[in-house]
Each structure stands twice: as C-alpha cells, then as structure tokens.
C-alpha cells in the first residue's frame, strides 16, 4: 500500500539515501540469490529508518515517490525470490491475511494495573509509604519518574533475538488477545530492534493510541463510507487494533509510546529512566515529556504542568504516572494485590455534565443486592455518551435527595464509571416526589431486607431473600461465571445468558458444557435461528471447549461466593494449590464448626478473615451448591495454581509466619520477599507452619511455635536461608 501524506511530505536530502530505487541500481532480474539476500536486508533497514523518521520524528528525508520506489524494489525482489522473504520485511508490515479469531496469550509476567491518587495528599502519602517500606531516611535520595498517562490501549510486544515474535493486549492482566499480525502493521513499532544492549528476550510494553488529528480524519472517512463513528480516540484505537483483517488495522494511523517491560533476559540499565532511554535507542517512540523528580513537591508541580498542557498535547491523557526510578527498589517493593507498590497513577479530576434523570431502575445482582441505576437523558461526558449512571444504594439516594425528573450533575469517576454527583435543585419540577426504595424484589417479589453488618448496624445494601427462586440472581451468577475475569467464555455474553436461561437451555454452570451436545440433537438448533449463524455458534462452542480446563483462582472467583473477589480467590488458590485441597479444608470447617482448628487454619491465611471463612462455609453448607458443583466438575478440570516466583528456593511451597519487630526489613517487605521466593505467608501459627521468623518483642506466636515444635528463625537466619544474607 502506498503511503500518502496530507500534512507533510518527504523531503529528499541526497540521492545516496535512495540508491536502491535509482536507475543506477542493479536490475532485479540480474540479481543472484546472494545479492538479492543482501539487498533485502539493506532495504528492510532503510525503509524502517524512513518509517521512523516519518512517523516518529516528523522529519522525513525523502519524497513519497522515492519512498514508493524503495517499497516497489523490495516487492519485486521478494516476488522473484519468495524463499528469501524476511521476518522483518516491509511487505509484512502493511497488512496480513484475515485471521479466524484472536487466540489467547498468557503473559509470562502479568500486566498489572496501577493504584490511583486523586489529590496532592495521596501523592505525598505514596512517597511516604515507599520510604517507610524501604526504611529510607529523609536524607536518602528517592528519585521518582513522572510521565503522562496515555489514554490508549495497553500492549505487550515480545522480541526474541531482537525480532518481533508476538504481541498481546492486556486482557485480564494474566491472559490477553494475540494481535501479533495487527501490531506488525503499526509503523511506529519496530519489527527488529537495533543496539548492542538489546536483550535476547524482552517484552516491551506501552500504549497504542490515536492523535486528535488522526482521530478526526478517521471519523471523517468513516462518515463518508457509512462506517462506524467512534466516540473517542481510545475506542477508535482499540477498535482499529482488534480487527480480524490486519489490512484494516494497517490503514488506521495508530501510534505507540513504549514505557515499561515484562519478561526480560537482562536489562540495559538499573533505573526506570535508563531502560526507557534504551527503548528509544532501540527504535521505539518514547514520551519526551517523561521527567525524573525528587520529592512530592516536584511530582505535584509536574502534574500541574501536565494539566495545563493537556489540551495542547495532540493526544488524550487522563493523568500522570509516577514510578520509583531505581529498579532494585522496585524489586524490593514488589506488588500488592494487582498493583505494584512502586508506581501510582495521579488521575485528573473527572469531567462533569448536567442532564435530566428520567427514571430510577432497580437491578438485582448475583448476591441479591438491589442496585438503583439512573436512566438519563443521554449526555456526553468526557467524550463518551452516558445514558445510565450508578446511584449506589438507597441511603445515597436519600442523602442527595435524588428524584425522578431532577436535573442532575453526572461525572465519570476516574474517567470510567458514570455516577450522579448531585442535584440542581432550582431546576426541580414542582411535582417531583422523594423516591421510595422498594422493599420487595422487582423480579421475584420476595422480601428485600437490609442485613446487619459486621459492627451490628444495618447494611447499606438491601438484598432479595429469594436466592433459590430468583431468576435475576441465577442469571447474574451465570453472567459472572462466564465473565472476563472468571471463565472468560467469548461469544457467551449477557444477552445470550438471558436468552438461554429464559429458554431453559442454561440454568446452571454445568449446562454450559453440555449445550453443544444437546444442540446437536435439537429439532431447532441454534445455527438455524434468527440472530445466530453457523460461524458464530461454532465459535461459541469452541470457546466453551477451551474452558474445560480452568485455573484454580479463576474457578474460585467464578463460583460467585459472596466476599470472594479476584484477590481473595488468588489468595486461597495460592494457599491451597489445588481445588481438592481447598474443598477438603472448607468441608472440614463446615463439619467441625466455627472456632475449630480447621476453621482457624483457613482464617490464618494471609489476606483471609472470618467474613471470607463464613462465606465459604455458608456456600459449601448448601446442598444445592454441592449438587451444582458436582455436576460442573463432571464437565471441567480445575488446574492447580501456578506459582510465580523469581527463583526456586529452599522456602518454595513453605508456610512462613513473621512476628515481632524486624530490623533489616519492614514487615510488609518481608512478606513480599517471602512470596517472591515462593513461600506462603500466614497470619498465625499452626501445626502446618514451616517457619516462624521472630524479631524483637515476639510474643504469643513465638510461644505457640515452640509449643508445636515449629522451626524458629532469626531475621538474619531467614535472609541467609533465602540467599539474601
């Protein structure tokens, strides 16, 4: 495909840059195989250089005609010597044959999200937390990088021996979509890295985005052709990348900033800023606005500067990202839940708009929670059309005195979730009455009650009591089961779950995995129905089959047990390793009761408390849950938890308890370090504890360890055991 430019042209700076396309070059039909191979290598490098000058530096050195001559010569040589086509050939960067569907890629190093700061105090607190964790004094230098937070699509690009071999979206952080063919069409992303310090293996991560100008031109072309009009640049970038036909992606002006990495066989520097500088040397575009700061005052000043420049950058940003600069500090800080301790995103204030609240709809969730949703006159907030917004719960409606017919202020919290901030009272209709929250379920008409919370007060959430008979809860549990962070079954979304439930095709999770067999025997198969097609049905069944083996942490989360989210599910999976071990432990706690040793063993797991143990016991105590689980496990296999540690060590798989005051490590640092070396950290001592690491003033945990004969280590002995002494 010939490149065209409406905003700039390539300016020739000498015939030497384009000798391959000049009349003096050896004609293609006179090249032998050796000469052709050398010529293709030179052309690949030369065209890549001009791509970089054109798309990244805005400093083209040759005209469009001269560039086209280079491409034409490359294509002619490849046509004559097809066996010599290179992996980094320019012909492979302008399109590819359509793929049937995106495959899945498991990230070797998870793509985690960032914690958020929404004010200056949170930024100061971030720096203070880092200093406490690392035990730094005020005199110790702590450098933190600051860079614009690009509002685009996160991507991980894997290079082996300098060659681009795979690209994947973030997905759920653990597993993403394989978009290699599409990423190879993006001119700003090099197909081959150049430099003496390029690692043998590295996953370069960054953001794919559209500039404001390119977005406007794209929508104009879409309107002319009758195509989809995109709501904002980020949606357009995501939609452009996720095309099944990579040639469509090639025609979209996608751009890229590199700013991070995943797996790396080695790194070119010992700082965040140094590695990003290496990215630039290797051929990646990096954000020139990245800066290194010392102290919270400099970070906040940088944030203010970005706020002022935001509208003039030419691309969307939604905040600033701060990262501890030293990589050894990052290693020590580690991670908490799904976020690194060494980085945080300072978000810009949410954009607001006013509109009319037409109605309040009550939705019933999988745990029976009645959630009020505002049905709005559609309004654009932050570039997105909003017609629904959360009202949280009945207390919030009463506190803000929100009434149907009110003019309300809407904002997208964190620029994502629409919510009602308040009411414009002077625009309230005279007949607007206070909203009466229902005390019965709108779906099954069962009583809806507010339970007692942990402190003996009233829960803010009103819940339907008809758990076993309420279709809404059953549907929502099924939707949760197939959702992205649970089993992630593509093609089986909310609308299909609604339809299949109403028709009796899927009433419980096990029915999902018998659907194909039943459909093949049906007199009215899905492929023959209106709204379905042979291809889409086949893809759905393939996606279902692909989930017959599911990781333990996903399975636990997918069950939809109250109080067990993704983090808690992973904590349980990490502690037990297998579904059989987890089920056996909980069933023992059900049998022995609260206060028993088996109950305490679950409660002692780091990150697990009585609320979670009670939820597990309640779930496993219900006979209908046991029956549903039994049917489900006849259809699927639950894979053991995959432990991710930096290295195998003497404490891999061991259970460790820290007690007392440590000198060389903070308690949080010690826990993070133990998990990094493959150990399980518990909150209290039991006969299953392998080591107790005792600091100064260790109390009852040390006494219990001695009573049970558990090995007790000093802090120095612990560090020596894991090779960190």
CATH code at 700? 3.40.50.10190
Three-state SS string over 530-550 comes to CCCCHHHHHHHHHHHHCCCEE
Are 164 and 190 within 8 A, CB to CB?
A: yes
Whether residue 53 lies inside any domain: the answer is yes
Pick the more confident residue, 6 or 202.
Answer: 202
Residue of 605, 618, 724 lying closest to 656 (CA atoms) = 605
DSSP state of 117: E
* CATH number for 143: 3.30.470.30
Whether residue 103 lies inside any domain: the answer is no
Under DSSP, is residue 370 helix (H, G, I), strand (E, B) or coil? strand
pLDDT at 275: 98
What is d(CA 591, CA 558) in angstroms, rounded to the nearest whole number?
A: 24
Q: Give how far Cα 324 sits from Cα of 10, 156, 321, Å.
A: 40, 21, 10
Q: What is the pLDDT of residues 585-599, one digit of tens each?
A: 999 999 998 888 888
pLDDT at 58: 34
> pLDDT grade, residue 423 (50/70/90)?
very high
660 with 601, same domain: the answer is: no
Distant-in-sequence, close-in-space partners of 436: CB < 8 Å, separation ≥ 6: none
548, pLDDT greater than 70: yes
Average predicted confidence (pLDDT) for the chain: 85
433 by Cβ neighbours in 10 Å (0-12 / 13-18 / 19+) ranks as exposed
pLDDT at 20: 35
Are 670 and 334 within 8 A, CB to CB?
A: no
> pLDDT grade, residue 318 (50/70/90)?
confident
Whether residue 429 lies inside any domain: the answer is yes
Q: Calculate mean pLDDT across residues 548-560.
A: 94
Q: Give how far Cα 36 sits from Cα of 28, 80, 171, 483, Å.
A: 8, 9, 41, 51
Q: What is the pLDDT of residues 674-685, one digit of tens each?
A: 888 888 888 788
Q: What is the pLDDT of residues 602-660, one digit of tens each?
A: 988 877 888 899 889 988 887 888 888 999 999 999 999 886 655 568 888 889 999 88
What is d(CA 637, CA 578) in angstroms, rounded to the nearest whole number?
A: 11
DSSP string, 205-238: EEEEE--HHHHHHHHHHHHHHT-PPPSSHHHHHH
Q: What is the pLDDT of residues 447-500, one digit of tens each?
A: 888 876 655 677 888 988 776 678 999 999 999 999 988 999 988 988 899 999
Whether residue 650 lies inside any domain: the answer is no
530 with 672, same domain: the answer is: no
Q: Among residues of the chain, what percentage have pLDDT more than 90?
A: 48
Whether residue 269 lies inside any domain: the answer is yes
194 with 313, same domain: the answer is: yes
Three-state SS string over 231-300 comes to CCHHHHHHHHHCCCCHHHHHCCCCEEEEEEEEEECCCCCCEHHHHHHHHHHHCCCCCCCCEEEECHHHHH
Are 412 and 458 within 8 A, CB to CB?
A: no
Q: Which helix (H) or strand (E) holds 511?
A: helix 509-520
Q: What is the pLDDT of residues 326-351, one digit of tens each?
A: 999 999 999 876 689 999 999 888 77
pLDDT at 566: 86
Residues recognised as catalytic: 149
677 by Cβ neighbours in 10 Å (0-12 / 13-18 / 19+) ranks as buried
24, pLDDT greater than 50: no
pLDDT at 38: 83
Q: Calculate mean pLDDT across residues 304-317.
A: 91
98, pLDDT greater than 50: no
Tokens representing residue 430 in the block: 């005279």
Pick the more confident residue, 420 or 604.
Answer: 420
Question: Comparing 109-118, 275-284, 420-429, 705-714, which segment has the lowest mean pLDDT?
Answer: 109-118
Q: Compute how many other C-beta atoms are within 10 angstroms of the C-beta atom of residue 377.
A: 13
Show the domain range for 55: 15-93
Residue 103 CA from chain centroid, whole number? 17
Task: Look at strands 104-106 and 175-177 and give their pairing.
Answer: antiparallel
146 with 126, same domain: the answer is: yes
> pLDDT grade, residue 725 (50/70/90)?
low
Q: Calculate mean pLDDT across residues 161-174.
A: 91
400 with 511, same domain: the answer is: no
* CATH number for 570: 1.10.150.20
202 with 297, same domain: the answer is: yes
* CATH number for 442: 2.40.50.140
Residue with tokens 């100008």: 213
What is d(CA 10, CA 13) in angstroms, rounded to the nearest whole number?
A: 9
Whether residue 106 lies inside any domain: the answer is no
226, pLDDT greater than 80: no
What is d(CA 137, CA 156) in angstroms, rounded to the nearest whole number?
A: 36
372, pLDDT greater than 90: yes
* CATH number for 73: 1.10.287.610
10 by Cβ neighbours in 10 Å (0-12 / 13-18 / 19+) ranks as buried
pLDDT at 416: 56
Of the residues 469, 487, 516, which one is the last residue of a structural domain?
Answer: 469
Q: Among residues of the chain, what percentage have pLDDT more than 70?
A: 89
Q: Which helix (H) or strand (E) holds 163?
A: strand 163-169
For residue 143, which phi and psi values (nearest 5 degrees)?
Answer: -90, 140
74 with 143, same domain: the answer is: no
714 with 565, same domain: the answer is: no
Of the residues 615, 639, 663, which one is the last residue of a structural domain?
Answer: 639
Are 496 and 524 within 8 A, CB to CB?
A: no
Whether residue 109 lies inside any domain: the answer is no
Residue 106 CA from chain centroid, whole number? 12
Of the residues 330, 347, 364, which one is the last residue of a structural domain?
Answer: 347
629 with 672, same domain: the answer is: no
- Percentage helix, strand, coil for the chain under 3-state DSSP, each rounded to 5: 40, 20, 40
pLDDT at 92: 56
Number of domains making up the chain: 6
228 with 371, same domain: the answer is: no
Side by side, which strands form the sheet with 115-117? 115-117, 343-347, 317-324, 143-150, 291-294
569 with 664, same domain: the answer is: no
Residue of 98, 471, 145 lying closest to 292 (CA atoms) = 145
464 with 498, same domain: the answer is: no
Are 203 and 105 within 8 A, CB to CB?
A: no
9, pLDDT greater than 60: no
Whether residue 203 lies inside any domain: the answer is yes
Q: Calculate mean pLDDT across residues 267-296.
A: 96
């Amino acid at each position: 495909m010939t490149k065209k430019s409406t905003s700039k042209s390539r300016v020739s700076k000498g015939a030497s840059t384009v000798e391959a396309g000049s009349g003096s070059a050896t004609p293609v039909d006179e090249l032998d195989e050796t000469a052709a191979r050398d010529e293709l290598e030179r052309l690949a490098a030369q065209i890549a250089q001009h791509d970089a000058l054109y798309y990244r530096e805005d400093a083209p050195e040759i005209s469009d005609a001269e560039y086209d001559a280079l491409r034409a010569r490359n294509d002619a040589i490849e046509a004559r010597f097809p066996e010599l086509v290179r992996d980094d050939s320019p012909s492979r960067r302008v399109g590819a044959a359509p793929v049937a569907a995106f495959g899945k890629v498991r990230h070797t190093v998870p793509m985690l999200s960032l914690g958020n700061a929404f004010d200056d105090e949170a930024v100061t607190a971030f720096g203070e937390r880092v200093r406490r964790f690392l035990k730094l004094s005020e005199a110790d230098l702590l450098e933190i990088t600051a860079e614009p937070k690009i509002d685009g699509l996160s991507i991980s690009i894997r290079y082996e021996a300098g060659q681009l071999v795979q690209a994947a979206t973030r997905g759920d952080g653990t597993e993403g979509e394989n978009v290699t063919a599409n990423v190879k069409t993006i001119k700003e992303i090099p197909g081959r890295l150049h430099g003496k310090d390029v690692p043998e293996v590295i996953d370069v991560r960054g953001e794919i985005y559209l500039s404001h100008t390119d977005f406007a031109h794209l929508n104009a072309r879409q309107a002319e052709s009758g195509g989809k009009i995109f709501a904002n640049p980020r949606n357009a970038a995501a939609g452009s990348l996720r095309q099944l036909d990579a040639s469509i992606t090639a025609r979209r002006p996608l751009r890229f900033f590199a700013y991070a990495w995943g797996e790396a066989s080695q790194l070119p520097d010992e700082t965040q800023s140094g590695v990003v500088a290496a990215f630039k040397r290797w051929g990646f575009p990096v954000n020139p606005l990245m800066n290194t700061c010392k102290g919270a005052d400099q970070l906040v000043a940088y944030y203010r500067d970005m706020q002022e420049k935001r509208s003039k950058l030419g691309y969307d940003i939604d905040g600033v990202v701060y990262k501890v600069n030293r990589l050894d500090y990052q290693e020590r800080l580690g991670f908490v839940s799904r976020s690194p301790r060494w980085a945080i995103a300072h978000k810009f204030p949410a954009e607001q708009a006013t509109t009319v609240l037409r109605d309040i709809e009550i939705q019933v969730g999988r745990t029976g929670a009645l959630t009020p949703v505002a049905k709005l006159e559609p309004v654009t907030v932050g570039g997105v059309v909003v017609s629904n917004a959360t009202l949280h719960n009945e207390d919030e409606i009463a506190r803000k005195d929100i009434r149907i017919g009110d003019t309300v202020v809407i904002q997208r919290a964190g620029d994502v979730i629409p919510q009602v901030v308040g009411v414009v009272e002077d625009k309230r209709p005279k007949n607007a009455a206070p909203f009466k929250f229902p005390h019965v379920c709108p779906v099954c008409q069962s009583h809806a009650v507010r339970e007692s919370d942990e402190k003996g007060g009233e829960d803010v959430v009103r819940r339907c009591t008809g758990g076993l008979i309420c279709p809404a809860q059953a549907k929502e549990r099924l939707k949760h089961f197939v959702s992205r962070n649970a089993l992630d079954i593509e093609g089986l979304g909310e609308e299909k779950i609604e339809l299949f439930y109403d028709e009796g095709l899927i009433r419980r999770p096990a029915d999902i995995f018998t659907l194909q067999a039943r459909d093949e025997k049906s007199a009215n198969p899905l492929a023959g129905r209106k709204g379905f097609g042979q291809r889409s049905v086949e893809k759905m069944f393939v996606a279902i089959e692909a989930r017959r083996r599911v990781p333990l942490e996903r399975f636990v989360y997918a069950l939809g047990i109250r109080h067990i989210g993704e983090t808690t599910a992973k904590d349980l999976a990490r502690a037990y390793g297998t579904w059989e071990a987890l089920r056996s432990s909980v069933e023992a706690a059900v049998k022995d009761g609260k206060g028993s040793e088996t109950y305490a063993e679950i409660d002692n797991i780091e990150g697990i408390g009585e609320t979670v143990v009670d939820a597990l016991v309640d779930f496993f105590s219900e006979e209908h849950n046991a029956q549903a689980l039994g049917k489900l496990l006849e259809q699927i296999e639950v894979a053991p938890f995959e432990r991710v540690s930096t290295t195998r060590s003497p404490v891999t798989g061991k259970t460790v308890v820290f007690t007392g005051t440590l000198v060389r490590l903070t308690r949080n640092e010690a826990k993070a370090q133990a998990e990094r070396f493959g150990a399980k950290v518990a909150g209290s001592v039991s006969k299953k504890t392998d080591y107790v690491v005792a600091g100064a003033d260790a109390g009852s945990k040390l006494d219990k360890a001695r009573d049970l004969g558990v090995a007790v280590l000093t802090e120095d002995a612990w560090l020596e055991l894991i090779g960190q002494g």
